[in-house]
Amino acid sequence: MGIMALHIQKGEHPVFFYGQAYMGALEAYLGAGLFFLSGRSAFSLRLGLILLYLFFLLCLYLLTARLYTRRFGLFILLLLSLGSNVVLSRQLNALGGYMEILLCGMLSFLLALWLADTTTHAPPRSFWRWMGYTCWGIVVGIGLWSDLLLLPTILCSGLVLLCFCWQDLRRGALLLLLLGMLIGAFPLILHNLHAAPGQDSWSVLINMQGAPAFSISSIAQQVSRTMLYSLPAITGNPVCHTDDMAGLKFLGFEPVQAMSSTCITIRVGWSCVYLCLLLCVIGWQIIQVRTHLLGWRKDRLKRRLSTEFIRAAVGLAMAIQAALTLYSFIRSHAPLDGASVYARYLICLWIATPVLLWPLWKSAQRICAIPGPRTILAGIALLSTVIIMSYGSIETLSEIPQARAAYAWEEKLIASLAQHGIQHVYTDYWTCYRLAFQSAERITCGVLAGGCSLQSGMHNRYPPYYEQARRDPNAAYLLDGNTKCASALQRKGYHYRFATSGYLVYQSE
């Protein structure tokens, strides 16, 4: 994303993340704008993500306060301002699309709730309601362009509009809604109108994340790896930071612990608690919706739906979107290919946080008036959640020296390569593009595939880099202690030159 931001400053206009024609480039455009204000740096790039997350938190508070209470909204703000290494890194790493879909998903529910709640209060064809439908369409369109992972959220918030605002939709609001979607998703639509067969966004996404062949064995693996790695990571479990791809350190550092029986118990137990809470909340919301619906049908004098009915339905929709997000993740290749790394695909679970914790908050509020096992357990659960998230934040802050050391090592590596006159290297994916960005493209690279070979389609997201390295006879191999590759390179006539920042440098004679 940082490299794309540099190219945008130079006059390019990318629509998608390089090499992934389903993930929008909004983060890159934000980064390019901030580069003009505060200079090219990782901080400037991440500042755009922080702004997106702050807007998400604001919308989260407004939605929670409208659904429940302001105090509970402040509690949810506190909770989602904390987190483990994995949670906070998802908010600060410009990996593409995730902060955008989080904000767009929350906005879609907030607008759907407002439109449903004011259906019978506002005059027909109210200007602000008409603007609300248009804004919902624009938000959804931008979300679809950013990442199609937002589809479960769009489906559920759209159902809220369909159930409670169908009269407005019949009167013409549907056209405004579709117009807004066309505006928001214009880059996505324009690309797919001219895309070659098999290169449209949907085909690319399915090819990368599609569901594997159905079998009992594959399903068991998908479920178990999601429970063990993905769900604990994205929901903030700070204990036993484990990784099924420990050699893949996209932060430049990560404290990875060995998978012990204790860690397995903690992580699977965490996931079981989360799933039980989600299922209980869905059941509770269904009962609430059914109760309000039966009461509305019996009372023939009621001219409009009750506010409680609408809010119960919105809460149910938010819980269902979490279930659908989890289901689509489990049925994809992600849990099999890298359950920890791809846990970020579950980021829309954060949207459902208020709905999941409201029953506990409601029960804990009665701890003084009606003390009992249920209220005490609810209070302990909420307090434990805050303590666990706070511990995760403290643990993350303790890793600042490691982050500074990793950054210093990268600067030393760039300086060492420049000193030896090396402008193009072959290395692993994460090292490659960090070097290109940190060096302001003074050093570019080709990404090594399995077996130390070069293949243009294997994570070489930006083809010009690959071509520059391939045409340079003095291009060096930058290996992170990969002795297997070292042996293969020696057979090809490449010899060890020097070591720097934990890397071995090989060049031909």
Q: For 289-328, what is each residue's pLDDT tens digit?
A: 888 887 766 665 555 567 888 999 999 999 999 999 999 9
Residues 335 and 483 in one domain: no
- Is residue 344 in some structural domain? yes
Q: 498: pLDDT confidence band, cut at 50, 70 and 90? A: confident
Is the domain of 122 the same as that of 269?
yes
Domain count, the chain: 2
- Domain membership of residue 104 (yes or no) is yes
Q: Are 336 and 222 in contact (CB under 8 A)?
A: yes
Q: Is a pLDDT exceeding 60 seen at residue 253?
A: no
Domain boundary residue, one of 397, 419, 447:
397
Task: Tell me which H or E stretch contains 479.
Answer: strand 476-479
Give the model confidence (pLDDT) of 221-243 as tens digits: 999 999 998 999 899 888 877 65
Cα–Cα distance, 137 to 165 (Å, whole number): 14
* pLDDT over threshold 70, residue 219: yes
Residue 381 CA to residue 387 CA, distance in Å, equals: 10
Q: Which domain holds residue 501?
A: 401-508
Which of 363, 397, 431 is where one domain is finished? 397
Can you give the pLDDT at residue 95?
81
Show the beta-strand stretches assigned E in 312-393. none
Q: Is residue 208 part of a domain?
A: no
Q: Quote the crossing angle between the two packed helices 373-397 and 85-92, to the nearest 10°.
A: 60
**Which pLDDT value is given to residue 254?**
55
In tens, the pLDDT along 57-98 reads 999 999 999 999 999 999 999 999 998 888 888 888 888 789
Q: How confident is the model at residue 104 (pLDDT cuts 50, 70, 90)?
A: very high
Residue 456: which residues within 8 A CB-CB, separation 6 or more? 463, 466
Whether 407 and 336 map to the same domain: the answer is no
pLDDT at 495 (0 to 100): 84
Helices (H) and strands (E) in the chain, counts: 23, 5
Asked if the model's pLDDT at residue 251 lies above 60, the reply is no
- How far is Cα 125 from Cα 129, in angstroms, rounded to an integer? 7
Do 356 and 435 reside in the same domain of the chain? no
Confidence of residue 4 (pLDDT cuts 50, 70, 90): very high
**Mean pLDDT on 129-153:** 93
> Within a domain: residue 18?
yes
The domain boundary, picked from 397, 416, 451, lies at 397
Q: How many CB atoms lie within 10 A of CB 9?
A: 14
463 and 386 housed in the same domain: no
Confidence of residue 19 (pLDDT cuts 50, 70, 90): confident
Q: Answer whether 0.95 is exceeded by the pTM.
A: no
Mean pLDDT of 469-481: 85
- 349/320 same-domain check: yes
Any domain includes 303: yes
Q: Is the pLDDT of residue 273 over 90?
A: yes
> Is 251 a domain residue?
no
Shared-domain flag, residues 126 and 28: yes
Of all residues in the chain, what percent carry a pLDDT higher than 90? 43
Residue 211 maps to a domain: no
Q: How confident is the model over 483-496, as a mean pLDDT? A: 78
What span, in angstroms and rounded, lies between the C-alpha atoms of 48 and 363?
Answer: 38
Contacts of 149 (CB under 8 A, 6+ apart): 97, 101, 325, 345, 347, 348
